[in-house]
Each structure stands twice: as structure tokens, then as C-alpha cells.
Structure 1
Amino acid sequence: MALILFIRNVQGGLLIAILAGTGLAYLLGAVQPVQQTEPGRLFESYGTLFGQLSWSGIGSLVFWIAVFLLLLIVVFENIGLIAAQTRMIGRPGNFKGSLRALALTNIVAGVFGSSPMVASAETSAGIAAGGRTGLTALVSGALFGATFFFIPLLAYIPDSAIAPVLIVIGGLIVQSVKEMDFSDMTEAFPAFLIMVMIPFTYSIVDGMAFGFIAYPLVKIARGKSRDVSPVLYIIAALFVVNFVVHALL
């Protein structure tokens, strides 16, 4: 249904598909109604999180391992998602500005005691629906903030109603494959490896890691080590360290 509405250019088609999928899921008994929670409890313990930064562990190895792993996740997950989303709107030049905005947002997130901010795949649904300007993002952000007061209601929407929309979005994103140079395996294979390993590892970061590690290796094997910038060698080495640290912890 989501695909049909999208192809027919129905305004709000993806939202209609989510609502229809939700109704169908409950009609067929695929999900059960959730139990309501008290809205006041969402904020009762927030005072213990806001501004509670601690530098007591800055000299420990565990602190820096955690910072390193978090940095890899935030940076490379955002790179993967933003690259796809800026291509969708035809403005790849917005890439740097988007990363700056996310960097500032993550600083604020640390002060507020929330989880790190990343660009979400669901954002692509808004782009596919026609959102192209900063105003769209501001309105979406304001409405998203308002969801704090409607979380019990939003919990009624099952994952099965959202999944079809994300599959349609995936079909749009995968169109970038045509830009890959399949005549050169040193270029095509690392990119292919990223596409395959992201779903296999259930992680955007880990999937990208395989591609970043493979790229300098195949270039060296082909005798084209000079085609790889020093930065990529450093990134590949960091990903290897990341896997080693994960294996040891």
C-alpha cells in the first residue's frame, strides 16, 4: 500500500500507509493494545540527568575507550545517513553543514543528559514526502518535541506499520548504486561490502567499517596505495582497533 500511494504521488501517502497498517494490525490481532502509563512519570527523574556531567574518570582508560567507541558510532552513522539523505534532495553540498549542526546538537545532548543525536533513516520519509527546506525540519522538530506528552498514544503504532515505509525509502536510497564504478573492483567491492554488511551486522557503523577496512587493502593489493588518502588509512586503522576492543571487552 505504501508503495502504491508513493508511486501515485498521493499527498501524505506514507502517513496514510502507517495509519492503515496500524488499523490493520489491530484488526487482525497482530498486536495488543499497550497499557497506559502516567505522563508525569516521564519527567519525574529528569533532574538527576540534566547538567550532571562528571570529569572524574577522564584519566582512566575505560573513559577514553567509551569516548572512542561513541565517536565512531556518532560520526560514521551520521556520515552514512546524511550522505544518502542529501543525495535524495539533490543537495550533496549540504553535507558539511548537516554535520556541523549534529556536532552542536550532540554537545547540547550531553548537557541535557540525553542519548547522542544521529540522523535517522525515518527522516528520509519526510524527504520522500516533499520536505526540502529548513522550515520542514523546524516544524518536524517542534512536533517531535511535543510527542513527549503523547508517548503513550504513539506506543499504539506497531513496528509492522512503519516497516513498509522504511522499505520504500530503502528503494529510493539504493538508486545511488548506479553511480558505483563496477568496472573497477577496488572501487565497487568495498562499497558492495558496506551494503551487504550493514544488514548482516545490524549496525550501520560496523557495516561501514568493513568497507573502510577493505578499501585500502584492495588498493594496496592492486598497487594503487597512493590513491588512498592518509586519512582513510587512519580511519581503517581506527575501525580495526574498534573491532579488537570490542572483542576484548
Structure 2
Amino acid sequence: MDKQQSQVDLANDMTLREALRHKDVVRNELIAGVTGFFAISYIIIVNPLILKDAGIPTDLSVFATIFSSVIGCLVMAFWANAPIILTPGMGVNAFFTYTIVVNMGLSWREALGIAAVASFVYMLIAFTKVSTILSEAIPESLKSGITAGIGLFLVEIGLEKAGLIVAGKTSSLVVLGDLTKPTPMLALFGLILSLVLYIRKVKGNFFIAIIATSLVAFFFGIKDADTPSVDLARLGQYHEIVFKNDFSHWLSTPFILAAFSMTMILVFESMGLLQGLLPNQKKFKKTFEGSAVTTFLSGFLGTSPTVAAAESASGIETGGRTGIMALVAAVLFALSLVFVPLLAYVPSAAIAPVIIITGALMMAAIGNIKMADFSEWFPAFLIIVLIPFTNSISTGLAFGFVCYPIMKVALGKAKEMTWPVYLLGVLFLLDLVFSALL
């Protein structure tokens, strides 16, 4: 084991204060924090654009996105001491906008009310023994499936950002992008550079690759079409979306069904992400609690709920093991209030290679699944393929967790499973039914 890897492993069990005393650990965490931030920085502009369709002003929800991310990362740093970046989640923001507001016809204020109720239930689960019972009840094959599924999801995201795959116009879901265009060519350059630096174990490999690829993009004039912007003059109007949660119809059927589905998304997507991301599972309880608190606060800040960003994996792979990584990300999110336009010089093609490689590394968890036992492999397989194919972590989890007890019962192994496994299967089945009704 090389010196750098031993330092990373040592940092796993360090407190935040102990980590700050080790220069080598701090250096690794700084690089990890910067890498993780750049990997998820697109959320600053993408989340407001999605919430715009719900009726929340884009120039105000930018502030909500940044503030909730800063708070979430600070909670991860000082409460959980975990290398996790919390931001408004992709997927849950789509559920918030297109299911609750657009399809169900509720207002964005009612959607914020639903988010607050779901987040409160999430907190009740997180701060009780229920969270431990549920997390320990998840079979190892499904845990590995979750990690691999999130990894494949990241690969899909990375390939899309790189322009290496695009939506098919005929019968194919996706097709190969135009490799003669600047973005795919730049991404391939970044991918090769990232791979070389990674296998050569160069310190700060991903960060170096992002900077080098961004410099190439700058010299050749390659920029993303959507340039993020923040008008600080609008900060004075931010109060227009703060504490605007509407609970007036909290006993109505649509409100209750939407709250149940969002609770399932928040609890089990967060649980699945943390099970798949955390290098040190001893930090799961604190991280889960911190995630729940931030999720609850985010609704009152005027944005859809926060979750652990899957892109945290890029920072973790770079060496992030403590809350210093999250602290660095918090600082960068805060600075983005002023320096967001600079993110335009870090194109998606520079970030995509890091996301692709990180996803590929997470997919190695497939090796932990008992392939010879089809009752273990198939439910995990459903999770792995349905997370990216449906663009929903919670949907992938639902099919896997419903399938698992069915297959075990069919094999006559019903008594070998614990009651939480059946409970999870039933809850996810109800979630699928309610989601269809919504």
C-alpha cells in the first residue's frame, strides 16, 4: 500500500479536529472538496431551471439552491464529519415540479408544504432506531446493487454531459453523439488524460484533469450553451420564496399521497446513496441524521429537498474521507454567489470524464453479488439497470426491493428473511402504486 493510500485509510476514523492537524490529510481533502464541488456545480443552474416550471422564480431559487447546499455541506462537515455533499436532488426536484405541481395541479407553495411534511417524517426515522433497523435489514446483494446502480447512473450522466451519447430520434433510446463536434472531442481528451493520471496514481489526478481540460476549452473557445448567472441585486427579494410552505390542504388525498411518495424517495434514496457512497459505514447514522435535517430546512428556504449528491463519489475517489471535503464544498458554494460566472469556464466536457470514471469504479461492487444465486442476483440486477433507465434511484430501489422477497418466498426461503425485508417490499410496492396514481 502506498503512502497516499495509507493516509486516506487513516483519515477514515479521524475526527474533524484530528484531520485538521494532518497536513497530508488536509491536502487530500481540499483536492477532494474542489473536485466534488466542480462535479456537482451544474446543480446551481439546473435546479432553478427545473423549479421554474413549478412557478418558483429562477433568479430567487438560485439563492435557495446555493444556501441549502452551503447548510447541507456544513452539517456534513461538523455534525457527521463525512465526505458527502448535500444539494437539492436531481430526481426529487423533477417529482416536486412535474408530478406534484404540473400533473397534480398543486401550487409550488403546497409542494413546499408536502416536502416539509415528508422531510419531518424522514427526520423521525433518522433520529430513531428505525433507521438502523432498516439499514441493517437491507441484504448485502441489494446494497452492492445500489452502489453499482448509482455508478451506472453516473456513467450515463457523464456520457450525456460529454455529448458521447444523445437521445435517439427513432427506435433507439440513445445513440452515439457526433464525435466531430468540439464537446465530445474535448471530453475524450479529458477522459484519456484523467485515465492516465488515475492509473499512474498522480496526486490530485481528477482535479488536474478538470483544470487542464478547462484550459484547453478556454483556448479553443468551447463553452456550454447555458451560462449560469446570479444577480445579487435580487437577494433583497429572496424573502418572497422563504417560509412560503402551504399546509392548508394537508388532510386532502392528493397531499397525503404525494407526501407518502416523497417520503419514500427521501428516506430510501438517501439511505441507498449513503450505503453506496460512504467509505466508512460507521458514519452512516450521523450522516443520515444530518441529511434529514438539511432536507427539512431546504423546504423552508424555498427549494426542493436536498439529498446526498451522487457526484460526491468523485471527491471520495480523489481521497475525501472526512468532513473537510464537505467544508471545502460549502465554502465554494458560498463563493459561487459572486463567482458563478466563472463556472462557465469549466464546461461539462471537463467534468464528464471524472463522473464517468467514478461511476465505473462504483460498478465494481457487482463483484460482491452472488451471481450463482439468481434470487440474489436478479433483484440487484433490476436495481442496477432501472436506476439509469428510469433516471430515478427510488424507482430502481422499488423494483429490486419488491422482487427480492417474492423470489425468496418462491424458493421456500420465507423464514430466512427478517420482517423488515417484507416491510420494505410492501412499502416500495405501495410507493409504485401511489406513484402510478399520481
State the TM-score, normalized to the length of structure 2.
0.52
User: Aligned-pair distance for 1:123?
Assistant: 0.8
Report the secondary structure of 1:132's partner residue.
Answer: coil
> Which shifted more, 139-148 or 76-85?
139-148
Task: Provide the aligned length of Structure 1 versus Structure 2.
Answer: 246
Pairing 1:74–2:266 present: yes
Q: Is the 8 A contact 1:33 1:156 kept in 2?
A: no
The higher relative CO (CA closer than 8 Å, separation ≥ 6) is in 2
Q: Distance in 2 between matches of 1:205 and 1:183?
A: 26
Pairing 1:16–2:205 present: no
- Partner of 2:411 in structure 1? 222
Q: Is the 8 A contact 1:69 1:242 kept in 2?
A: yes
- Partner of 2:343 in structure 1? 154
Report the secondary structure of 1:103's partner residue.
Answer: helix
Q: Distance in 2 between matches of 1:76 and 1:38?
A: 33
Alignment RMSD: 2.2
Map 1:1-40 to 2 at 5 A. Answer: 1-25=193-217, 31-32=223-224, 34=226, 37=229, 39-40=231-232
> Which shifted more, 73-82 or 205-214?
73-82
Residue identity matched to 1:140: A
Q: Distance in 2 between matches of 1:229 and 1:211?
A: 16
Q: Is the 8 A contact 1:34 1:156 kept in 2?
A: no
Residue identity matched to 2:354: V
Residue identity matched to 1:171: A
For residues 65-94 of structure 1, the C-alpha deviation after alignment (integer angstroms, 9 at most, x for no partner) is 2211211221222122211222xx2x1222
Pairing 1:111–2:300 present: yes
Give ranges in structure 2 of 5+ residues lacking alignment.
1-192
Residue identity matched to 1:54: D
Give ranges in structure 1 of 5+ residues lacking alignment.
none
- Partner of 1:192 in structure 2? 381
Map 1:18-167 to 2 at 5 A. Answer: 18-25=210-217, 31-32=223-224, 34=226, 37=229, 39-40=231-232, 43-86=235-278, 89=279, 91-167=280-356
Pairing 1:172–2:364 present: no
- Identity of matched residues, %: 39
Residue identity matched to 2:212: A
Q: Distance in 2 between matches of 1:71 and 1:20?
A: 41
Q: Is the 8 A contact 2:228 2:344 kept in 1?
A: no
Q: Is the 8 A contact 1:26 1:32 kept in 2?
A: no
User: Aligned-pair distance for 1:145?
Assistant: 2.5
Q: Distance in 1 between matches of 2:234 and 2:422?
A: 45
Q: Distance in 2 between matches of 1:146 and 1:215?
A: 45
Residue identity matched to 2:269: E
Q: Distance in 2 between matches of 1:174 and 1:203?
A: 17
For residues 94-143 of structure 1, the C-alpha deviation after alignment (integer angstroms, 9 at most, x for no partner) is 22221111111112212222221111111111111111112222222222
Q: Distance in 2 between matches of 1:42 and 1:205?
A: 35
- Partner of 1:232 in structure 2? 421
Q: Distance in 1 between matches of 2:422 and 2:262?
A: 20
Cα gap change, 1:28/1:213 in structure 2, threshold over 3 Å: closer, same or farther?
A: farther
Q: Distance in 1 between matches of 2:246 and 2:289?
A: 25
Cα gap change, 1:97/1:241 in structure 2, threshold over 3 Å: closer, same or farther?
A: same
Report the secondary structure of 1:125's partner residue.
Answer: helix
Cα gap change, 1:214/1:128 in structure 2, threshold over 3 Å: closer, same or farther?
A: same
User: Aligned-pair distance for 1:208?
Assistant: 1.3
Q: Distance in 1 between matches of 2:260 and 2:435?
A: 12
Cα gap change, 1:65/1:42 in structure 2, threshold over 3 Å: closer, same or farther?
A: farther
